[in-house]
Structures are given as C-alpha cells and as structure tokens.
Chain A
Amino acid sequence: MSFPWAEPYQPKNGLTRWIDQRLPLPRLVYGAIGGGYPVPRNLNYFWNFGVLAGVALTIQIVTGIILAMHYVPYGGQAFQSVEHIMRDVNQGWLLRYAHANGASFFFIVTYIHIFRGLYYGSYKAPRELVWMLGLVILLLMMATAFMGYVLPWGQMSFWGAKVITGLFGAIPFVGEPVQQWLLGGFAPDQPTLNRFFSLHYLLPFVIAGVIVLHIWALHIPGSGNPTGVDVKSAQDTVPFHPYYTAKDGFGLGVFLILFALVTFFAPNYLGHADNYIPANPLSTPAHIVPEWYFWPFYAILRAFTVDFILPAKLWGVIAMFAAILLLFFLPWIDRSPVRSGNYRPRFRQFFWILMLDLLVLGYVGGKPAEEPFVMISQLATIYYFAHFLIILPIVSAVERTLPLPNSISESVLHGEDKEAAPADLGGMRPAAAE
C-alpha cells in the first residue's frame, strides 16, 4: 500500500487470528476492498457511484443466475420461457423486471461514475490505468447488455441483433465473413441465440474480474477527490470504514428507492413495446431502436449519411467505436496539470456543453432517422469529437486555472481553526507518530 498510515488488517478475536495465520484470505480481502484504507475526507456524493455500480453488477449477476434456471435459449421457446418466468415461476416477474431494469440502472450509475471522472480529472496521472480499465468494463458492459437484450427473442431482440451484427458487414473485405461468424449463419437464429446466452452468462464474471483490477489499480495512488489535490498528510483522510461505508449505505438506500420505483411501478417504461411480440424474421418493426443507454452511440452511428471516400455506413461504424476508444487516450490528450474541473473555469464550461451534447445525442438516437433529428445528430456528433480531440488539447494548453488549495484539509476547513479537525480522528494514526 502506498499510504504509510493505511490501517493493516488486525484480527479481532481468536478465531480470525487462527484463520489469518493459516489462510490470510480475510487479510487479502480487507486489503483489496480497502477496509481501513485512508480515503480523502472531502469526497462528495459523486464518489458514491463506484460502489453503486458494484451493487448493480451484483444485482444483475444474482438475478441473472436465477433467470437462467428458468430460461430456455431455444428459438422456438425462448420467448415462451420468458413468459413462463413472468406468469408461473414464483416471484419470477420480480426477478425478470429487476434484471431488465437493473441493466438500465447499472448504466445510469456507471455513466454518472464516468462523468464524475471526466469532470474531476480522475483519468489523469497517476490514475490512467484505473480509467482505462474502467473503459474496458464499459465496453464489456455494452457487449453483455446487447446480448442480454437478444435473449427474450422478441421483435426488438431479433432486429437489434440483426442491425448491430450488420454493422460488422460494413468492414471492407472481411465484413461479411465476420458477420456470419458472429451469427453462426446468415441471419440471427438458433446458433446466435445459443452463443449469445453463453456469452451473456460469461461476460459479467469477466467484468467482475476487471473490476478487481480497476480497484487494485485505484488503491495504489488512492482515491482522487473534488479538489484534485493529492493527499498530503493523515489529516486529509479518514478510514474507509466506517466513514465511507456509512455514506455508501445512505447512497445505496437512495439508489434502491429509485430502482424499486421503476421496477415495481413502471417496469416497462424503459423497454420497448415491440419486444413483447415474438421474433419474426419476415416483419420488421416500424422503428428499430436499441435500449436507451446506447442511444448516444446510435445517434453517432446514424449521423454519417453521405459517402466520403469511404462508404457512409463504414464512417458511422468507425465513428461509433472511435467515440469510446478515444476516451482511452484522454489522459494524454488533456495535459492540464490541474485535475479538478472546480479550478478550471474554461474546461468547466466545455464540460457542461458536453453533458448537454450527450443529452441531445441520446434524444435524437431514440428518434426515427428523419429530419430534423439527423441534422441535430450531425451537429451533436461534430461537437462530441471536437470536444475531446480539438477543444480539450487547446483548452488544456491555454487555460488559466484558479489557485488550488494547499491541502484537502484546508479546503474542507474553509479557513476555520486548523487545529480543530485532526484531533477528533481517533482512528487515524499519522505516520510520524509511529
């Protein structure tokens, strides 16, 4: 651990001591999850969302394993087995609605987690790998969510699978073989459904593995904080437990209230009516759209309407993937030494324009490909790429940042008597005192 004053694991009674001497698993877990770990004392509620994303993944894995006990990945029966879950399985309706809406909530908290990282510069040194592992998790989540949406084998499942795998057909030369390899045929069918089910079951555990790396990499430099100033002394931190466990407990309560509101009272609000029609390869729904969390990317995909050296469709596919992949380079694109948007007035303005831009992209992504939505999506796409690839490098070079506080404690105390704070922190043991 890089913090000299991180509290090591201390077995509390004879049994845990006995275990610790023979199999130090509790010690490993304690260190890995950051129990007794010093965390900046000034984290705001935006720092709750990492834990919430972990909770959402857990909800998805638990409900998913249970749904797999009743679901049948067979083209002729998949839809029927979902209805069997909804009607006949004990509390099956609850488990399925929780799983379907759990996916949406997983994306909500993950997106907020990412936006927090963008605003507070969490991607900057020394946390580049934390950021990049997080993006790997996002990509895995997207793949998992997409394949999961295919499983009920409704109309939107089928046509979504067809449209998305069709994107690979845009790749020159290898596109068509790749598409057929993905589908196991010429169109989505039994082989597709079976392999998507297998991968949909597998990928969440891969995500869990990458999350372990994500947290491991985070615990080397420790958490960032709203000032972006490094931790300088023990006074700047509090132990994760009980301070942030208590705060996360409250955050979890609020999250669960919102989750329960949607799951119990508007369970189909975030879904599509068409997916309650069994898949029919001979009839296309009037308006094929993915789930809401893909809308911004779907808008970027559809923004390229005119061939320009390459075919328009290929541009759309390239741009859609580039929209996420460019985030991997963010730590090197934005070279401002100041992390937090709080002290970067120009950056902050553009950040909020980006948020607005993403809302617009999301909105038009859910609309049919008609004017004026296409023009709006093109404008918004231009800003998206311009923001990350053109504006950020320039802003980070020319911006005049605000003066940073000397330390986290100073920013928290707002000039109050400095002696007041650390005396109370019974759990803290400054390194110097050792």
Chain B
Amino acid sequence: MATVEHSDGTLAAAPDDGMRRRDFINIAAVSFAGVGAVATLYPLINQMNPSADVLALASIEVDVSQIQPGQAIKTIFRKQPLFVRHLTPAEIQAANAVPTGDLRDPQTLAERTQPGKAEWLVTMGVCTHLGCVPLGAAEGENRGAYGGYFCPCHGSHYDTAGRIRKGPAPKNLEVPDYKFASDTVITVGEVA
C-alpha cells in the first residue's frame, strides 16, 4: 500500500478527513479480498475430511449371539479391527482380582464394560504402542502371559480386561463407544 500513499501524496493539500476516507477504501477493498480468500479455503480444506459415505459406516451392528464364553471374534469397525470377547466367569474374576494401583493405566473391568454386561469385552484390536493388531482373538492364538491379548510386534501383554500389563504399550486397549441394541446385538460407534 506504500505506493498508493505515495501516489496520493501529491494530494497533501486535500482535507485530512478526505485522506483518511480514501485510505479506508483501499484498506477495505484489500481486506474484503483477504476475507474472500480465507472463505474460499474452507471448501478446499474441508473436502479432505471423511465424506458422507465414510461417515455412514461410522457405526455398525455386531451380532454377538454366536460367541461362546471364552471365545472372541474379530470384526471391522471404521476400517480397523474390533475384538468382541465373551469372558468366562474365571476370566472376569481374574480381571477383578488385580489391584488397580498396580496397573500402568488403572481401570477396573467394570469401567471397561457396560453395566450388567461385564462378560462382554469390546475393544479395538489396535495395540496402543505402535498400532499393530494383537493376537488372542482367534482360536489357538497366543493370548500372552495374562490370558488376554498379546501383541507380537514388540511384546505387549494385555490381560482379560484388555489392560496393558507388560511390554512397551502405554495404555489399555481402547474401548470404543458402543451400546446394546438388544441382548445379542451391539451397536458400535454410538454412546450407550
């Protein structure tokens, strides 16, 4: 804008308020252009966010009626593995027996399951260390030293509540938002 002032400089004899008004117009025009440019950026940036069809799959329904106690299934939620595990009473007991003070990421089993549904452990199958898929959901896989899940990448052991017990992972396996649509169907991706 310096040049503009320069070319206006010859009008020094003009009244002061006139000068200000003229500067104001130039500044306003440039500001408007700036606002327009910023507004234009919004669609250009927002288009990279998840599209409507992707968001439509942000919640899924899982039928858990076929999972026997002690079994787990691996399914896909938001393009990532999801573990649904039917705990046996012994596993629930083992999980409850651990004093939370000893845990790296202190949480009780009750905090990680739905009220009255402590036998259903629903977690993401994503190790909180570097994102590998832990073993233990399928029949015959290594469940680690604590009977839960075991991540083969760097040796993280999770217990029957999906809590980190040994190895490099900093957090427990993430529990996604989910609710029981009925006794046998859970809706993952929606808050209970």
Contacts and interface: CB of A to CB of B under 8 A. Distances in A.
The reply to whether A and B meet directly (CB within 8 Å) is yes
Interface of A: 12, 62, 66, 69-70, 84, 87-92, 94-95, 239, 241-242, 249, 423-427
Given A242-B7, A425-B7, 19 more contacts: A66-B44, A66-B47, A70-B47, A70-B51, A89-B47, A89-B52, A90-B43, A90-B46, A90-B52, A91-B42, A91-B46, A95-B43, A95-B44, A95-B47, A242-B3, A249-B33, A424-B7, A426-B10, A427-B7
Contacts of B46: 90-91
B51 A84 contact: yes
Interface string B43-79: 1101111011110000000000000000000000000
Nearest to B30: A249
B6 interface: yes
Interface in B1-15: 1-4, 6-7, 9-10
Contacts of B48: 69
Contact of B29 (A91, A249, A427): A249
B33 A69 contact: no
Nearest to B56: A88
A94 B54 CA distance: 19
Contacts of B47: 66, 69-70, 89-92, 95
**Most interface-central of B33, B43, B49 (chain A CB within 10 A):** B43
A190 B158 CA distance: 49
B48 to A, nearest CB: 7
Contacts of B54: 88
B51 A88 contact: yes
A419 to B, nearest CB: 14
Given A66-B44, A92-B47, A426-B9, A242 B4 contact: yes
A321 B44 CA distance: 38
Contacts of A427: 3, 6-7
A90 B10 contact: no
A88 to B, nearest CB: 4
Contacts of B42: 91
A145 to B, nearest CB: 22
A89 B45 CA distance: 12
A63 B42 CA distance: 13
A66 B7 CA distance: 41
A42 to B, nearest CB: 17
Contacts of A89: 47, 51-52
Contact size range, B: 20 to 34
Given A62-B44, A69-B47, A94-B43, A88 B52 contact: yes
Contact of A90 (B2, B3, B9, B49): B49
A241 B3 contact: yes
Contacts of A249: 29, 33
Most A-side CB within 10 Å, residue of B3, B9, B48, B53 = B3
A66 B29 CA distance: 29
Interface in B29-46: 29, 33, 42-44, 46
Contacts of B43: 90-91, 94-95
Q: Which 10 A-B pairs have the closest CB atoms?
A: A91-B43, A88-B52, A88-B51, A88-B53, A90-B46, A89-B51, A426-B7, A242-B4, A426-B6, A242-B3
Contacts of A92: 47, 51
Nearest to B1: A242
A89 B52 CA distance: 6
A89 B51 CA distance: 5
Contacts of A84: 51, 53
Contacts of B6: 426-427
Nearest to B53: A88
Nearest to A89: B51
Nearest to B36: A256
B4 to A, nearest CB: 5
A87 B52 contact: yes
Nearest to A243: B7
A9 B180 CA distance: 70
Contacts of B44: 62, 66, 95
Interface in B135-167: none
B1 to A, nearest CB: 8
Nearest to B40: A62
Contacts of A87: 52
A66 B48 CA distance: 9
A90 B45 CA distance: 9
B138 to A, nearest CB: 33
Contacts of B51: 70, 84, 88-90, 92
B175 to A, nearest CB: 29
Contacts of A88: 51-54
A239 B29 contact: no
Contacts of A66: 44, 47
A239 B3 contact: yes
A241 B7 CA distance: 11
B17 to A, nearest CB: 21
Nearest to B43: A91
A12 B2 contact: yes
A55 to B, nearest CB: 12
A90 to B, nearest CB: 5
Contacts of A426: 6-7, 9-10
A427 B4 CA distance: 9
A365 to B, nearest CB: 34
B50 to A, nearest CB: 8
Interface in B77-127: none
